[in-house]
């Protein structure tokens, strides 16, 4: 029985898997539903197994073979102690490590090189690798962190729309569009915001980028403020030795022109995606081709 | 049976009442527990009646007399439609109006004069009176408004403490004190913030004022930012004709030196408290001494 490897990229909306030969060469891919180990570990376990079996099938292998394979599972919310242990013990593989979705994204983006990724989506976080050392900057979630994230930008837009309604700040086409959406009644904005999850605030972020592109003064101001928070975090990453910076996440392509001139020469394109990164880490840890370190 | 008047100042932690003669002269005061008509209307109704009976007793009147009295009830969250109607129909008085706690505070602070109050406590809101016209600026609650409030200042302090932990912003004695309180573990701050109510964030606001007084650079920066939001709202109030500004709420005495020079000449001290304001409004609407208007 060959030593098959599995990489898993588990997310809140879907879970992707790849099966690889012992040297890390990908043989097949598969997909299943959400894998949120914190909020629903049983479903996460079922979808991780389902995606892995689908990858074996696509590779022309017997899906039952997943139980002999070794896996690297990347998941959001990996640093939540009990949930990780619970899921790790129940994974249907011969051996498995669980890592953060950020780490597999970094591995995919930079390969074995040193550098950092800025993940700019609904949330925001920065991950730096220097040799064997991984360090995290920022994150901490919407309530008290995730500066510059889509959720924070969307929240700021709603807030500015109420300030414009009250005449405290200037109105603009983008704040007018928000108030119109809420029937020009601030109470409707308040009711929405009180119950909104980060992703619901984040849905307003692309509108801010679009409006800024069109010259909307409020959108430009909000994005300049958000970009400063990203540049400040990148400064920390650079000060810690990051020489290659890779922007990832849904907002990455939108953000780049807003970031400081001093960071532009450091930006690199991602080599590969997070799933490829998970497979690469699986190959390093369990594969026939052992890494010799950085 | 004389035409007794009742003023009620109902708040989230306690409810105060005063009974007055038909001309508005206060005869006695009473107190009871919380009166939050939105979250617990039955308890609010019981405590409003209890405080009114206690006021009658202190005045040497038969508490049963409250059913013949006319009342002006000031409550937080008054503008919540159904809850107001439900409570109004069940109040044990011969007649009653329900108004916002802000309006009775304005009446107490300014008497019958035109002007505005800035209520700076756990939340923040600005209320302007010109003649018969009352207008509100700001408020909208912690999630999407209440700029410059204690809750927002406390939230900003926790946020800065995490930014300092990550090396993104400078640390200072006040951010060090926060991190020490949370055992220098950002996850503890995140866990607290995720569940914290506005009042729990607001408990950190006095610490920011104290630290700023002592020259702490982070505290000074946070308060300058907060003071700008208050000054911007006061600009709106002044533009709408406010010529007297009265700062109310727990943060009022702390805030005044931080506010812009342009507003200092407009600040006046409150004439009386919100309970006195409730009685005065009761006398205007139901009393023997009818107001002739502004």
Element (H, E) at A141: none
Banded pLDDT at B270 (limits 50, 70, 90): very high
Nearest-neighbour CA in chain A from B219: distance (Å) = 17
Q: At what angle do helices B205-213 and B150-165 cross, to 10 degrees?
A: 70
Interface touch B166/A138, C-beta < 8 Å = yes
The b/e string for B52-84 (b: 16+ C-beta within 10 A; e otherwise) is bbbbbebbebebebbeebbbbbbbbbbbeeebb
Which of the residues B144, B198, B200 would you substitute to probe the A interface, choosing the one with the greatest number of A C-beta atoms within 10 Å?
A: B144
Nearest by CB to A236, which of B162, B166, B236? B166
The C-alpha atoms of residue B189 and residue B166 are separated, in whole angstroms, by 13
pLDDT above 70 covers what percent of chain A? 96
Interface touch B233/A168, C-beta < 8 Å = yes
Q: Give the Cα-Cα-Cα angle B192, B197, B202 (nearest 5 degrees).
A: 90
Same-fold call for B5-111+272-286 versus B150-266: yes
Interface touch B159/A169, C-beta < 8 Å = no
Please list every residue in chain A whose beta carbon sits closer than 8 Å to the beta carbon of residue B193. 143-144
Per-residue pLDDT of chain A (294 residues; tens, 9 = 90+): 568 999 999 987 789 999 999 989 999 999 999 888 877 889 999 999 999 999 999 999 999 999 999 999 998 765 656 778 888 899 999 999 999 889 999 999 999 999 999 999 989 999 999 998 999 999 898 999 999 999 999 999 999 999 999 999 999 999 999 999 999 999 999 999 988 999 899 999 999 999 999 999 999 999 999 999 999 999 999 999 999 999 999 999 999 999 999 999 999 999 999 999 999 999 999 987 554 443
Nearest-neighbour CA in chain B from A233: distance (Å) = 6
Sheet holding A70-75, edge to edge: A26-32, A15-20, A5-10, A70-75, A95-100
Yes or no: say if B25 and B290 are a contact pair by the CB < 8 Å rule.
Answer: no
Q: Just give the CATH number of A5-111+271-286.
A: 3.30.420.40
Please list every residue in chain B whose beta carbon sits closer than 8 Å to the beta carbon of residue A190. 140-141, 143-145
The length of chain A in residues reads: 294
Q: Which residues of B touch A (CB under 8 A)?
A: 137-138, 140-141, 143-145, 147, 155, 158-159, 162-163, 166-169, 186, 189-190, 193-194, 232-233, 235-236, 239
Interface touch B137/A193, C-beta < 8 Å = no
Residue A246, token pair as written in the block: 């890779």
Nearest CA in chain B to A125: B166
Nearest by CB to A189, which of B144, B236, B239? B144
Nearest Cα neighbor of A26 from A1, A48, A8, A46 is A8
pLDDT at position B1 = 52
pLDDT at position B234 = 98
pLDDT at position A292 = 45
Interface touch A158/B166, C-beta < 8 Å = no
The CATH-assigned architecture of domain B5-111+272-286 is 2-Layer Sandwich (3.30)
Secondary-structure class of domain A150-266 per CATH: alpha beta
ipTM, 2 decimals?
A: 0.88
Interface touch A162/B140, C-beta < 8 Å = yes
pLDDT tens profile A134-193: 999 998 989 999 999 999 999 999 999 999 999 999 999 999 999 999 999 999 999 999
Yes or no: say if A19 and A72 are a contact pair by the CB < 8 Å rule.
Answer: no
Give the residues across from B116 on adjacent strands: B128, B245
Interface touch B236/A186, C-beta < 8 Å = no
Which of the residues A39, A140, A235 would you substitute to probe the B interface, choosing the one with the greatest number of B C-beta atoms within 10 Å?
A: A140
Ordered by start, the domain boundaries in chain A are: 5-111+271-286, 150-266
Interface touch A137/B190, C-beta < 8 Å = no
């Amino acid at each position: 029985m060959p030593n098959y490897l599995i990489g898993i990229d588990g997310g809140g909306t879907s879970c992707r898997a790849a099966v690889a030969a012992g040297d890390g060469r990908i043989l097949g891919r598969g997909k299943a539903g959400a894998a949120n180990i914190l909020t629903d570990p049983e479903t996460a376990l079922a979808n991780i197994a389902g995606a892995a079996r689908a990858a074996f099938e696509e590779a022309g292998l017997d899906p039952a073979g997943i139980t002999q394979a070794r896996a690297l599972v990347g998941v959001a919310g990996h640093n939540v102690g009990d949930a990780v242990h619970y899921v790790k013990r129940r994974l249907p593989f011969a051996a498995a490590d669980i890592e953060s979705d950020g780490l597999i994204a970094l591995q995919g983006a930079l390969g074995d090189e040193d550098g950092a990724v800025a993940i700019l989506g609904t949330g925001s976080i920065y991950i730096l690798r220097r040799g064997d050392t991984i360090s995290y900057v920022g994150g901490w979630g919407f309530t008290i962190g995730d500066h510059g994230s889509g959720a924070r930008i969307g929240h700021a837009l709603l807030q500015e729309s109420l300030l414009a309604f009250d005449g405290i700040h200037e109105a603009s086409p983008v704040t007018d569009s928000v108030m119109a959406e809420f029937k020009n009644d601030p109470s409707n904005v308040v009711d929405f915001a009180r119950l909104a999850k980060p992703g619901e605030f984040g849905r307003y972020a692309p509108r801010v980028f679009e409006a800024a592109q069109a010259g909307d003064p409020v959108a430009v101001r909000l994005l300049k403020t958000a970009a400063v928070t990203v540049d400040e975090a990148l400064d920390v990453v650079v000060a810690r030795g990051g020489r290659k910076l890779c922007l990832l996440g849904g907002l990455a392509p939108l953000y780049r022109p807003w970031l400081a001139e001093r960071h532009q020469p450091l930006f690199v394109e991602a080599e590969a995606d997070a799933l490829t990164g998970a497979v690469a880490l699986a190959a390093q840890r369990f594969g026939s081709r052992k890494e010799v370190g950085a």
